[in-house]
Amino acid sequence: MQKKVILISTCLLLGLHQGTLAQSKKKKDKQTNSVSAPAAKKPEEKKGPKPYNKVIDSTAVTQKGLIDIHKMDNKYLFEIPADLLGTEIMTITRFSKTPAGGGIFGGEEVNKQVIQFEKGINNTILLRSITYVIMSSAEDKPLAQAVNNSSANPIIASYDILAIKKNDKEKTEASYVIDMTPTFEADIQTFSLDPVKKQTLSIQAFQKDRSFIQKISSYPINTEIRTVKTFSTVPNLISLSPAPRIGANLPAALDSGVLTVELNTSMIALPKKPMRKRTFDARVGYFANQYGLFEEDSQKSDKEIFAVRWRLEPKSKEDAEKQKRGELIEPEKPIVYYIDPATPEKWKKHIKQGIDDWQVAFEHAGWKNAIRGEYWPENDPTMSLEDARFSVLRYFAAEIQNAYGPNVHDPRTGEILESHIGWYHNIMSLLRNWYLIQTAAVDPAARKKQFDDELMGQLIRFVSSHEVGHTLGLRHNMGASSATPVEKLRDAAYQEKFGHTSSIMDYARFNYVAQPEDGVTSLFPRIGDYDKWAIKWGYSYFPEAKDEKEEKAILNEMTKEAYKDRRLWFGTETSPYDPRYQTEDIGDNAMKASAYGIKNLKRILPNLLEWSKEKGESYAELDQLYDALTGQFRRYMGHVTKNVGGVYDTPTTYDMGGNQFEIVPKEIQKEAVSFLNAQLFSTPKWLMDPNILSKISPENGVEAIKAMQNSTLTSLLSGDRMVRLLEASSAGKNYYSVDELLADLKNGIFSELKTNAAIDIYRRNMQKLYVSKVCALLAPGTTTVRNIPVGVTYGFNSKTVNLNETDLPSIARGQLISLKAALKAAALKTTDRMTKLHLQDLAVRIEKALDPK
């Protein structure tokens, strides 16, 4: 059809052209003696900038601010001050409104980038995107030129200068007027969604005709741009799954083939006087930024790694002196978090309490009133929730059971500029499940389907404090709870004074160890000793230090002193091998703590039906709580398993002495395997309460138990764990070995072989799993082993190990030969038919594995 239209159009043009020629020929024949007067030339428009008042006339609606904005008709003219050229500007783009159902929400961050305006050639202004990868502090040295030559920043836009405003005496240029309307009407990545987000949302193409600038506002230190952008989507890639995953379920896009989002971009100038960087220390858990550093006097390329934190400074030198004498002073600019007005009214005060709870930690750093929560002022047109000047806890109407605490910081120094905490409404469901399953044995208030407002309010307060901690720069301290002896978790007086973990930044949730007879009522995490120390490290002010190096020396002495107290240690959230650093665990011994936890689960399980009932409702609530309880049991198994092949990783420095890495003692590893044999591999039949299973599942729990056992056994015999055990046992018999592990497992899993007892279906399944996995170790292939490099922020080094070329196949073969003989002997003795068939089958499986031919 398209080709046909083109052909017709061409014929019409040809016909018109021929007719015109014929008429022209006739006219020429008649007027051979006439002479045509030459056409008058139009005066050429003068190129380049026009007078300022010719561009910005009386029709302009002007807003003064970081960048003066002049709205004229449908154009937004930006007046860039001359002194803003070369200034680094942080842009933060957030969703203001989103389509429902896609796992994205108004208030969430979309993109952030540093940009810079600069003068170009031929009366243009260039806009560059700035990326910090390598730096040099010696700007006047030759090496700095080498760094500059390797750091070209991309030009993302170029603008003709429409007018130049001169200073009063018109000797110097004061500002430049450019038209940025096309930039914000278009889909420029810096101010829009990046390719990854577009892919997750199945975005195909930008629809310019349905995209526009909604409004632009300018303030003294920032400029805010609100835009509406529409994109076509690929409907066949959009899932109908009800689960709220990003891009997985966008009904509006499915209905129309397009999606529309509203975005707000904040442009805020980075501080003219950069904050002093605080050198990162792996012994204290702060988020960090880094870049490559090339210095004239250095004999190698270095990395400069520095902590991410807010800028707190005294109001005056007098205040600084007071603080030095030990007096608390107020900072020049306190940290303020506003609470989204969309937050349900009854929860606002609890969220504010969670923010204000951090004041006690800042007092340890010498500050009073350094942090506070505020309610969002109503009907204030000068304030916007997306404005980068304000830190806000944003409340999302979502089924997601989560909350998160990000921050936006100056990439040059780590100075936090603002934060938008994300809070999903359905986190209350998660909190209810956690608290009920972990504490209902000791807290009567937890024994109901819907908690009282006061209890839920306290749970919200705890999460608020945790997320605010992240926005202060603090990482998870998964090692904090391991500083508390297990028996102290049952000590009511100790718990009242210290709590069950020394850090609210731990994933230590609630005290699941305390028994009903202990009288423990303090079950919540709170701002602890580690949190106070970490804030002291990050926010103490050192006017006596003339530079970062001197400040680092002062902090090092503080940290060495702090590390004499085990409660002040930091335990990274990323360790693959330290059993002290785990999520959801408490206490210094996972076997003892988990045994107490299981005692409480056995008390809670029979009551789930009563605590979840509601007339006219299905058993869906019971199903959810049972799933939460079995999930808690699986966590206990994971906590214990990590001790096997474990390595303690304690950050240390040359001047502290001692080793950073220590192998978990053999007796602890054997205790872990004994626990697994007793609590999981010996069937936990108590989990299969028929009164509950008959209401939520057509199955009796056989496969569910096998799945739990399979998961733990797979982890226990994983390749990386085998490598660590092989490495450790090479140092001598004092260390746990793969051979000992397999022997201990065999003795527990096949205990019936010694007693000649009948083997039920659960144990038969368990034994088949074990034989299958050990047979697989005859040809184990390769595995990836990860380790955390010493002294870094986060991330792993990894290496591939060929397990076929280790002792692992030899050990597995020896264990299987021994097991085969025991199986054959037991099969001759048993009188139970299924037991006999099972034992004979396993012996044949082992024979085939040992000799496939």
Compute how many other C-beta atoms are within 10 angstroms of the C-beta atom of residue 105.
20
- Position 589 scores a pLDDT of 98
CA-nearest of 322, 317, 415 to 368 is: 322
430 burial via Cβ count (<10 Å: 0-12, 13-18, 19+): middle
704 burial via Cβ count (<10 Å: 0-12, 13-18, 19+): middle
Global pTM value: 0.88
The vertex-211 CA angle with 209 and 217, nearest 5°, equals 140
The vertex-802 CA angle with 796 and 803, nearest 5°, equals 105
CA-nearest of 314, 308, 357 to 337 is: 357
The sign of the dihedral angle between the CA atoms of 809, 811, 812, 818 is positive
In the chain, what are the domain boundaries?
62-133+147-269
CA-nearest of 702, 649, 714, 647 to 676 is: 714
- Position 239 scores a pLDDT of 45
- Position 24 scores a pLDDT of 42
E strands within 410-567?
Answer: 416-418, 420-424
The sign of the dihedral angle between the CA atoms of 254, 257, 262, 266 is positive
Q: Hey, what's the torsion of the CAs at 839, 842, 846, 851, to 10 degrees? A: 100
Task: Give the H/E segment covering residue 261.
Answer: strand 258-269
- Tally the C-alpha atoms within 13 A of residue 210's C-alpha that lie toward its C-beta: 11
**Cβ neighbours for 573, distance < 8 A, ≥ 6 positions apart:** 475, 476, 477, 478, 507, 581, 583
Q: Which tokens sit at 825?
A: 């002997």
On whether the CB atoms of residues 303 and 292 are closer than 8 A, the answer is yes
The sign of the dihedral angle between the CA atoms of 608, 612, 615, 616 is negative
- Position 150 scores a pLDDT of 64
**Cβ neighbours for 566, distance < 8 A, ≥ 6 positions apart:** 483
The span from the CA of 226 to the CA of 265, in Å, is: 6
Q: What is the pLDDT of residues 729-767, one digit of tens each?
A: 999 999 999 999 999 999 999 999 999 999 999 999 999
The vertex-19 CA angle with 13 and 23, nearest 5°, equals 145
Q: Which amino acid is at 170?
A: E
Pairing mode, strands 222-233 and 420-424: unpaired
Compute how many other C-beta atoms are within 10 angstroms of the C-beta atom of residue 266.
25
Q: For the chain, give me the number of helices (H) and strands (E)?
A: 26, 27
The span from the CA of 818 to the CA of 807, in Å, is: 17
- Position 304 scores a pLDDT of 84
Full strand arrangement of the beta sheet holding 403-404:
371-375, 335-339, 391-396, 420-424, 403-404
CA-nearest of 528, 498, 495, 529 to 514 is: 495
CA-nearest of 792, 721, 730, 749 to 579 is: 721
All residue ranges of the chain with pLDDT < 70 are 1-46, 133-151, 235-249, 293-302, 792-793
The span from the CA of 55 to the CA of 76, in Å, is: 12
